[in-house]
Amino acid sequence: MNAAGLKKGLKATGRRVTRTRQAVLGLLERTPQPLSATEIFEQLQKENVAIDLVTVYRTVHVLKELGLVAQIELHHEGQARYEIKEGREHHHHIQCQMCGAIVDLLLCPLKKITKLIESQTKFVVDDHTLEFTGLCPRCQ
Amino acid sequence: MNAAGLKKGLKATGRRVTRTRQAVLGLLERTPQPLSATEIFEQLQKENVAIDLVTVYRTVHVLKELGLVAQIELHHEGQARYEIKEGREHHHHIQCQMCGAIVDLLLCPLKKITKLIESQTKFVVDDHTLEFTGLCPRCQ
DNA sequence: TCATCTATTGCAAGTGTATTGCAATTATCA
DNA sequence: TGATAATTGCAATACACTTGCAATAGATGA
Ligand SMILES: [Mn+2]
Ligand SMILES: [Mn+2]
Ligand SMILES: [Zn+2]
Ligand SMILES: [Zn+2]
């Protein structure tokens, strides 16, 4: 686990290194797909880590602030998901409408387009979301 | 108002042409930016059109099914928005993080990329979301 | 035009995700 | 180890959206 990064980030912001923060970060690190708060809660329960769902929400919030975790909002899911940023490039996702499978897309085609949008709209672009839905090979 | 399209679509699916459906469609047609269910509700109240918020939700659902209205999910807004499809190309949006202003982007750069994603992932892509956030000229 | 049928509506209640208040707990450090 | 303050769990709350059901109102045809 990236315990060093966690500890450093927490210390730097006057926060404490706790079992639950380590447990949530550890779970996200060993899970390849992005997890919702409820899924984090349920998985940790299975692993006999005592944690409240409220604490999961507060923990992912902190991990996001420290830049260790990214929050993902998939099309029509009605819940946020979280995944580790450490060692992974900025990327997007495709989700199967049938089975819900989520696959990473290892490209982001938007860098050039962002410049174009800035010149067209006079906005300063800060962020973007780009998510696809479709049918995975098994569900076609 | 596209009363003809509405009537035709409703008849074709065994539904009825009602005051509220006409009122919601009419409001969306004369509003340039996408509206949330609550905004539709509040605006119609102002115009002395009696309608319940529940009915707004049910109505936008029907208008979506008829293909007359598009549902938009902006980054971190926590609510859906609706806009007329009639006479408008498929497009995306940019929203100002400060004042909430929403501006249409009159391009969709994803047609070629979709092919690439399909060949990379073996998914059949059905849909995508692409939304930007930033600061509008007034809020910079 | 009117009666009948049934889709639609309004109201109340319910869902699901996420947030907040507060007292109890626990990490940190002298 | 004890003092301090951050963190946690629990209960309550917020908010978008949905559902059940009886009342209302379009559509149809006599
Ligand atoms: Mn990912
Ligand atoms: Mn638009
Ligand atoms: Zn990107
Ligand atoms: Zn597009």
pLDDT digits (tens, 9 = 90+) for A69-115: 999 999 889 999 999 999 899 999 999 998 999 999 988 989 889 99
Q: Which residues of A touch B (CB under 8 A)?
A: 73, 75-76, 94, 96-97, 103, 105-107, 109-110, 113-114, 116-118, 120-137, 140
Nucleotide nearest to A53 (CA to C1'): D9
Higher pLDDT, B124 or B107: B124
Nucleotide nearest to A55 (CA to C1'): D8
CB contact (8 A) between residue A123 and residue B105: no
Mean predicted confidence (pLDDT) in B6-30? 97
Buried b / exposed e over A48-87, threshold 16 CB at 10 Å, is ebebeeebbeebbebbeebebbbebbbbebeebbbbbbee
Domains of chain A and CATH, by start: 1-88 (1.10.10.10), 89-140 (3.30.1490.190)
Chain B residues whose CB is inside 8 A of the A106 CB are 120
Q: Which residues of B touch A (CB under 8 A)?
A: 73, 75-76, 94, 96-97, 103, 105-107, 109-110, 113-114, 116-118, 120-137, 140
CB contact (8 A) between residue B113 and residue A109: yes
- The Cα–Cα gap between B41 and B51 comes to 7
pLDDT digits (tens, 9 = 90+) for A35-70: 999 999 999 999 999 999 999 999 999 999 999 999
